[in-house]
Amino acid sequence: MRLLVTGAAGMLGQRVVRDARALGHAVTGLCRPDLDLTDEDATARRVAELAPDTVINCAAYTDVDGAEDHEQLALAVNADAVGNLARAAAQIAARVVHVSTDYIFGGPRSTPWLESDTPAPQGAYGRTKLAGELQLAHATAEHAIVRTAWLFGSGGPNFCDTMLRLAGERDEVSVVTDQVGSPTWSGHLSPALIELADRRGDVGVFHGAGAGQCSWNELTLELFQRAGVSCRVLPTTSDQFRRRAPRPAWSVLGTEREPGVRLAPWQDGVQGHLDERRTA
């Protein structure tokens, strides 16, 4: 399979390129210096030139707080660029696998969000990512939108690495208990995206996140226990950590699709990430 991976310099994009090549696929990875996806003509020319069977789009504006002050910039990257890429792919009958986010949801909840649930983003980042989903669906029928949550892994800044760094600098950390989600290791999500890239005709929205759920506090406790870290983890609430952008209190993703995207438990992802750190 000929794959084009956009956002190839990011944490997930790096992983997808590496994993796809290991599986024997012909992969081209592009990042912003290679191609500005907000340039519709340039995007159309490059995609036509490369002629991939499937485009896996990992490119995104991910500064959640920055999006509150720069929503038009976030919209250009998270929505307009997705539309450009989708129209270019449609011109050559290529499939598009696009990575989206739990931030499109909001409001109280006690059961996992499913693919058919109505989006209600609470902030600019979620609004722009939802706009990208809509542009993609409008531009080409041959698409798979994969919403994920609490992504961590090698190759970029992430919550787990931040907590491990802080554990080396202090005796205790305070982590919120009132945000619950589905931590997702890039090492689990990447193969699922590649597999989905070859499922032509299986279209629409998919949820792909680590199985199970926990709070950020519980994630930190699990991480430190598995890493053998003695730093204490104190409970706190979101009110004590005011941020520019609102965070969803409930980010647990489930699936109603068959076949859907089903990943290993989030605890396995934590162990996989730690194992990679040790061998890096």
Could you report the per-residue pLDDT of 225-272, keeping only the tens digit for each?
A: 999 999 999 999 998 877 888 899 999 999 999 999 999 999 999 999
Mean pLDDT of the region 70-93: 98
The band of 123, judged by pLDDT with boundaries at 50, 70 and 90, is very high
| pLDDT for 197 beyond 90 | yes
pLDDT at residue 241, rounded to an integer:
77
Mean pLDDT of the region 34-62: 98
pLDDT digits (tens, 9 = 90+) for 137-189: 999 999 999 999 999 999 999 999 999 999 999 999 999 999 999 999 999 99
d(CA 221, CA 226): 9
125 given a catalytic annotation: yes
Q: Which residues contact 274 (CB under 8 A, 6 or more apart)?
A: 223, 226, 227
Query: Of 113, 125, 206, 224, which is the active-site residue?
Result: 125
| pLDDT for 276 beyond 90 | yes
d(CA 135, CA 93): 17
In contact, 157 and 164? CB cutoff 8 Å: no
Percentage above 90 pLDDT, the chain? 96
d(CA 229, CA 232): 9
Mean pLDDT of the region 12-34: 97
The band of 29, judged by pLDDT with boundaries at 50, 70 and 90, is very high
Out of 3.40.50.970, 3.40.50.720, 3.30.70.1230, 3.40.50.920, the CATH code matching 2-158+183-212+253-264 is 3.40.50.720
Average pLDDT, the chain: 97
H runs (alpha helix) in the chain: 11-22, 40-50, 64-69, 71-75, 81-91, 124-139, 159-167, 186-197, 216-227, 266-279
Six-digit token pair at 141? Answer: 């029928």
The band of 280, judged by pLDDT with boundaries at 50, 70 and 90, is confident
pLDDT at residue 108, rounded to an integer:
87
pLDDT at residue 245, rounded to an integer:
84
pLDDT at residue 88, rounded to an integer:
98
The band of 195, judged by pLDDT with boundaries at 50, 70 and 90, is very high
Identify any residues that bridge with 101 across adjacent strands, giving them in sequence order.
148
| pLDDT for 212 beyond 90 | yes
Six-digit token pair at 93? Answer: 């009958």
Six-digit token pair at 108? Answer: 């109280």
